[in-house]
Copies of this chain bind each other. A is one copy, B any other.
């Protein structure tokens, strides 16, 4: 899968580390890292949690970035 640069950018704009974001949504740092690097396919619930923390919508963070398998 492709890297999720929109997520990376949204996180950066909140000045949060992967660890901080991971803790805010209740997953591990490694899980956040894997999602950001496209190493796997998160659940909808987790995507929504991330959106809420970063004040974004699903379309803004997760649409069109996961198109290429």
Chain A residues in the interface with B (C-beta under 8 A): 41-45, 47-48, 57-59, 62-63, 66-67
Q: Which residues of B contact A41 (CB under 8 A)?
A: 43-45
Q: Shortest distance in angstroms between A2's beta carbon and chain B's nearest beta carbon?
A: 12
Contact of B42 with A63 in the complex, beta carbons under 8 Å:
no
Given A41-B44, A44-B47: 15 more A-B contacts, CB < 8 Å:
A41-B43, A42-B43, A42-B44, A43-B44, A44-B44, A44-B62, A48-B62, A48-B63, A48-B66, A48-B67, A57-B58, A57-B63, A58-B58, A58-B62, A58-B63
Write 25 A-B pairs (CB below 8 A) sorted by A numbering.
A41-B43, A41-B44, A41-B45, A42-B43, A42-B44, A43-B43, A43-B44, A44-B44, A44-B47, A44-B62, A44-B66, A45-B66, A48-B62, A48-B63, A48-B66, A48-B67, A57-B58, A57-B59, A57-B63, A58-B58, A58-B59, A58-B62, A58-B63, A59-B59, A59-B63
